[in-house]
Amino acid sequence: MMDACDTSSDSAAGFLTMVEDGRHGLFGGYLLLSRNGRPVEFHCTAPVKPNRAQEILYGPTLGEYLYAEQIGRTLIAQPKSHVPVVYTDLSKALAVRHYVAQTVALVTAPDDPPSGELSERQWRLDGAHQETPVMISMQMGAARIEVLSEYDGDRLRLSRNLELLGPRFDLVEPFRRIREAIEEAQAGGKS
């Protein structure tokens, strides 16, 4: 794990995403921001690449295992600061909610389809033979935010966190920062 900045404990929200690199594997990034959008902490992983045996044995559950259990849970455990809500832009990472105490919310941009619709950019959030989870959806500006309905209190914690952040807070933008930071770290490692 890399600790790029650690300035205070005034974290308001966490943002979790992953970048897939065909050659190296999957990189995870977790950015904690203050309510005014400034970085409080940043953590990222070394690349994680499943071997062929894992691909075969995990089958359709491999994505959830990598995104949620291996990368997401590890990153969320790293910070010195605690946040009540972790936002992700990847439906596979939403399953990290099963492993952490924080509310985990899926943020989708206006041009993204709802999580209930299948598309090339979305994955199952459930195990191979389970029912599709029920999602609770909210809107903040142009972004749609969804949480798993099975966790009591997540909707209330999410509402409170959105109030804290305020209506002008762009929930989609931090994911771009994380991706750029990971790409920068990769480029720096090649020098």
Averaged pLDDT, 34-58: 94
Contact assessment for residue 175 and residue 23, using Cβ atoms and an 8 Å cutoff: no
| pLDDT category of residue 135 using cuts at 50, 70 and 90 | confident
Distances (CA, A) of 96 to 36, 103, 132, 175, 183: 26, 10, 16, 17, 23
Q: Where are the domains of the chain?
A: 2-190
Please check the confidence at residue 156 and state whether its pLDDT lies above 90: yes
Residue 2 is predicted with a pLDDT of: 39
Please check the confidence at residue 151 and state whether its pLDDT lies above 80: yes
Residue 115 is predicted with a pLDDT of: 46
First vs last Cα of the chain: how many Å apart?
19
Residue 159 is predicted with a pLDDT of: 92
Q: What is the pLDDT of residues 95-117, one digit of tens each?
A: 999 999 999 999 987 665 554 43
